[in-house]
């Protein structure tokens, strides 16, 4: 027993000695490691000091420290799963990674309801990581550029109303992940009075824990609309530069540095990132070509080809001069934006404010440009959040911008919307303050803007009058451009839209359809009667072989004669109408019932100022300008087949029946360009006294005329 006890004691002592040796060795290594860590800390501290020496201000040092704290918070939240309880995904990988298309498969049975609510596949969005990467579509040369280190900080403002939570948070994650911490001062979320419950508590809780001190939420007590919501975001911003973005975007690498560099060079620039597309159904990121941002005369924005001087440079990284902006993303100097009047607070909801800002900044001494090296991907939604008659607000805002900034060219906006310049039926509010702003800033004319900034815009200063062209026998029916593929003018129920916009020019052109926009796109087609068919057609004005085939007269003259050799009747036109006389009021105009078939057409009813005040006189031989209350015939200049002289004859055009199919197909005459064969003159005289009628073309080959 004693021997066994001694052996046990020796073994214990040996084990303790061995453990002691191991512990001593570990201790020595820890000491060495501590010295290495201390040395590493000193080096890091020296680098920070050197960095701080370059930054040389307390705000930037605090920003770096805050960034370190946020990184620690990221690790904590990744471990504890902030997103998971809300059914969302954080971190790399997963569906849609790298901007690839994603699908839900059999799990997507509820996706249709999400489409209707948000205008995109919100159910799919919830399955895609908030931190997913997207393709770097910058031109290759952009990655070789360097930028100053002492750039101004930026406040990023997101506007949303009833947006999917995952889409908003992905926008926030994306801007944090792709913006240097010392440049991103704050993120401001402006909630324009959303109804969604998850955009209240869940959003607040998430951003406060995930990004404490970085994200602010501004909540509107009532629905203000996008324009005024952005103004609230500007008021809340504290950085010298403010970026406004829709809350359904994702940022590309290196987006901020080129923008802030251009802003530092000239604070009067408004900078637009180049826009790529996020497909609403699969969230695939699709590259868009480099483009400028333009608009049509209705002040609807659109992408346009970059100006020729940019194309001639051959440098894809160069800024692109742009007349206006699409509106989903733009960056401004905060102080300069206030000096030039912000966004017009008198505008409602959205639409037109992006075009008005482009006009204003250019006319008042600033500039606007797109940067191909700064890219943002944006969801093109199928449904907009403000559905209370957005077309009305876009029209109202367009007229407001036209009255303030477009001088004599404002008539083009009224034409594009097919509404009269006098009493348009749209209250666009008081613009006196905006006119005073223009005067105070000593801004240039809109003509200068068209010549120097937007020379690609088509101009229609030769327009005498515009509006709908109605037929007297087809009540409620208007001249319509019909199918674009058919190129045939038709009669169709009046609806006031652009397909029924007719413009009559001082040269005698009658153009039908939406007002043209830029020289990059086809112009509105002309009504043409070349004598080859039984109906007039719509053709490009500059491809008509004979000038007379595209020129039309609105006239009052009446001529009746009979040619006994071939028993044909030739007519000029007839008037059965009232005339608006500024001095004598309304009075009947000379004229009488002329033709056996069809009805007469009314002159487009909206004259362009100042022509509406011109004196109008009756003439049997000359074309005449008629006020909007008059009804007259229109005749093509020259005879059939493009003859420069000869009798004016009748041409036929198809009247499209109502969709219910109750009415038989009818043909009504338009113009005077085709022969009328009648066997009995007495029948013509009798019918003329009875009024104008319509005939089923299947029962008669007679061309129906006015």
Domain ranges, ordered by start, for the chain: 84-395, 398-440, 464-558+628-639+647-686
Q: Lowest-pLDDT range, 203-207, 326-330, 512-516, 630-634?
A: 630-634
Is 251 within 8 Å of 265 (Cβ atoms)? no
CATH class of the domain defined by 84-395: alpha beta
Whether the predicted pLDDT of 117 surpasses 50: yes
Each residue's pLDDT tens digit, 177-224:
999 999 999 999 999 999 998 999 999 999 999 999 999 999 999 999
What mean pLDDT do residues 550-579 have?
40
* pLDDT bucket at 23, cuts 50 / 70 / 90: low
Of 704 and 276, the structure prediction assigns the larger pLDDT to: 276
What does the buried/exposed string (b/e) look like for 341-365 if buried means 16 or more CB atoms within 10 Å of the residue's CB?
bbbbebbbbbbbbbbbbbbbbbbbe
Q: Which helix H or strand E contains 403, and what residues bound it?
A: helix 390-405
What mean pLDDT do residues 269-279 have?
98
Range ranked top by mean pLDDT from 18-22, 117-121, 280-284, 638-642:
280-284
* pLDDT bucket at 64, cuts 50 / 70 / 90: low
DSSP label at residue 552? E
Q: Computed over its alpha carbons, how large is the radius of gyration of the chain?
A: 36
Which residue, chain included where needed, has tokens 């191909």? 372
Each residue's pLDDT tens digit, 304-343:
999 999 999 999 999 999 999 999 999 999 999 999 999 9
What mean pLDDT do residues 607-630 have?
36
Whether the predicted pLDDT of 566 surpasses 80: no
pLDDT above 90 as % of the chain: 50
Of 121 and 472, the structure prediction assigns the larger pLDDT to: 121
pLDDT of residue 644: 35
Each residue's pLDDT tens digit, 388-444:
678 899 999 999 999 999 999 999 999 999 999 988 999 999 999 999 999 999 999
Q: Pull the structure tokens for residue 139.
A: 């031109």
Residues contacting residue 637 through CB under 8 Å, at least 6 positions apart: 508, 548, 551, 552, 553
pLDDT of residue 403: 98
- HEC letters along 463-514: EEEEECCEECCCCCEEEECCCCCCCECEEEECCCCHHHCEEEECCCEEEECC
Nearest residue to 258 (alpha-carbon basis) of 331, 189, 361, 168: 331
* pLDDT bucket at 593, cuts 50 / 70 / 90: very low
For residues 420 and 118, what is the distance between their CA atoms, to the nearest angstrom?
36
Q: Lowest-pLDDT range, 12-16, 122-126, 198-202, 688-692?
A: 688-692
Of 53 and 260, the structure prediction assigns the larger pLDDT to: 260
What mean pLDDT do residues 274-286 have?
97
Each residue's pLDDT tens digit, 448-464:
999 999 999 999 999 98
pLDDT above 70 as % of the chain: 64
Each residue's pLDDT tens digit, 125-180:
999 999 999 999 999 999 999 999 999 999 999 999 999 999 999 999 999 999 99
Residues contacting residue 232 through CB under 8 Å, at least 6 positions apart: 190, 218, 220, 224
Q: What is the CATH number of domain 464-558+628-639+647-686?
A: 2.80.10.50
What mean pLDDT do residues 368-382 have?
97
Query: What is Dmax (Cα atoms) for the chain?
Result: 156
pLDDT of residue 548: 75
pLDDT of residue 600: 47
* pLDDT bucket at 471, cuts 50 / 70 / 90: low
Whether the predicted pLDDT of 671 surpasses 90: no
For residues 608 and 627, what is the distance between their CA atoms, to the nearest angstrom?
10
Whether the predicted pLDDT of 595 surpasses 60: no
pLDDT of residue 553: 66
For residues 219 and 202, what is the distance between their CA atoms, to the nearest angstrom?
14
pTM value is 0.74
DSSP label at residue 528? E
pLDDT of residue 612: 37
For residues 536 and 489, what is the distance between their CA atoms, to the nearest angstrom?
7
Each residue's pLDDT tens digit, 526-550:
988 776 766 678 889 888 877 777 8
Nearest residue to 650 (alpha-carbon basis) of 630, 668, 624: 668
Whether the predicted pLDDT of 584 surpasses 70: no
Average pLDDT, the chain: 75
| End-to-end Cα distance, the chain | 137
DSSP strand pairing (154-160 vs 184-191): parallel
pLDDT of residue 490: 79
pLDDT of residue 556: 39
pLDDT of residue 211: 95
Phi-psi region of 28 (alpha: psi -120 to 50; beta: other; left: phi over 0): alpha
Residues contacting residue 279 through CB under 8 Å, at least 6 positions apart: 101, 285, 286, 380
């Amino acid at each position: 027993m004693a021997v066994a006890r001694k052996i046990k004691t020796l073994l214990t002592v040996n084990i303790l000695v061995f453990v002691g040796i191991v512990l001593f060795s570990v201790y020595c290594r820890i000491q060495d490691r501590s010295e290495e860590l201390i040395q590493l800390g000193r080096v890091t501290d020296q680098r920070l000091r050197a960095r701080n020496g370059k930054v040389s201000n307390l705000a930037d040092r605090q920003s770096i420290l805050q960034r370190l704290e946020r990184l620690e918070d990221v690790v904590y939240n990744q471990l504890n799963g902030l997103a998971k309880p809300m059914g969302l995904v954080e971190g790399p990988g997963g569906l849609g990674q790298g901007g690839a298309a994603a699908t839900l498969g059999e799990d997507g049975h509820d996706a249709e309801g999400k489409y209707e609510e948000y205008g995109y596949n919100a159910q799919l969005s919830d399955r895609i990581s908030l931190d997913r990467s997207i393709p770097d579509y910058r031109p290759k040369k952009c990655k070789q550029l360097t930028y100053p280190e002492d750039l101004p900080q930026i406040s990023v403002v997101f506007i949303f109303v009833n947006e999917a939570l995952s889409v908003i948070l992905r926008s926030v994650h994306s801007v944090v992940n792709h913006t240097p911490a010392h440049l991103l001062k704050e993120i401001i979320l402006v909630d324009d009075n959303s109804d969604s419950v998850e955009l209240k508590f869940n959003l607040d809780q998430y951003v406060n824990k995930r990004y404490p001190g970085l994200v602010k939420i501004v909540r509107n007590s009532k629905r203000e609309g996008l324009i005024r919501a952005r103004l609230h975001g500007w008021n809340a911003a504290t950085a010298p530069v403010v970026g406004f973005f829709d809350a359904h975007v994702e940022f590309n690498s290196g987006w901020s540095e080129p923008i802030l560099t251009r802003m530092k060079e000239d604070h009067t620039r408004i900078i637009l990132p180049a826009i790529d597309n996020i497909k609403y159904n699969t969230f695939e990121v699709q590259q868009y070509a480099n483009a400028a941002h333009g608009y049509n005369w209705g002040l609807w924005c659109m992408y346009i080809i970059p100006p020729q001087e940019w194309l001639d440079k051959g440098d894809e990284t160069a800024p692109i001069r742009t007349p206006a902006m699409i509106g989903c993303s733009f960056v401004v100097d905060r102080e300069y934006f206030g000096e030039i009047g912000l966004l017009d607070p008198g505008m409602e909801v959205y639409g037109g404010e992006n075009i008005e800002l482009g006009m204003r900044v250019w006319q008042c001494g600033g500039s606007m440009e797109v940067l191909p090296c700064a890219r943002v991907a944006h969801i093109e939604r199928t449904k907009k959040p403000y559905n209370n008659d957005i077309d009305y607000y876009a029209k109202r805002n367009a007229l407001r911008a036209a009255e303030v900034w477009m001088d004599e060219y404002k008539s083009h906006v009224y034409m594009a919307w097919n509404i009269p310049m006098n009493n348009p039926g749209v209250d666009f509010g008081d613009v006196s303050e905006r006119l005073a702003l223009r005067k105070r800033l000593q801004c240039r004319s809109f003509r200068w803007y068209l010549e120097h900034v937007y020379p690609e815009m088509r101009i229609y200063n030769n327009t005498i009058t515009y509006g709908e062209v109605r037929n007297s026998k087809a009540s409620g029916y208007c001249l319509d451009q019909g199918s674009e593929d058919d190129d045939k003018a038709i009669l169709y129920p009046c609806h006031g839209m652009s397909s029924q916009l007719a413009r009559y020019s001082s040269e005698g052109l009658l153009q039908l359809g939406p007002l043209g926009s830029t020289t990059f796109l086809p112009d509105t087609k002309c009504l043409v009667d070349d004598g080859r068919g039984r109906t007039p057609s719509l053709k490009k004005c500059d491809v008509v072989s004979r000038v007379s085939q595209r020129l039309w007269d609105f006239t009052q003259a009446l001529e009746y004669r009979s040619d006994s050799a071939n028993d044909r009747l030739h007519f000029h036109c007839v008037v059965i109408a009232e005339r608006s006389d500024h001095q004598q009021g309304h009075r009947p105009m000379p004229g009488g019932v002329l033709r056996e078939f069809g009805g007469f057409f009314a002159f487009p009813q909206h004259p362009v100022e100042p022509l509406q005040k011109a004196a109008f006189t009756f003439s049997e031989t000359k074309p005449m300008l008629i006020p909007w209350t008059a009804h007259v015939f229109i005749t093509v200049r020259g005879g059939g087949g493009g003859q420069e002289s000869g009798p004016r004859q009748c041409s036929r055009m198809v009247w499209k029946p109502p969709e219910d199919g109750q009415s038989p197909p009818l043909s009504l005459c338009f113009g005077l360009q085709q022969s009328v064969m009648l066997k009995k003159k007495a029948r013509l005289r009798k019918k003329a006294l009875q009024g104008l009628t319509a005939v089923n073309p299947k029962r008669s080959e007679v061309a129906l005329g006015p």
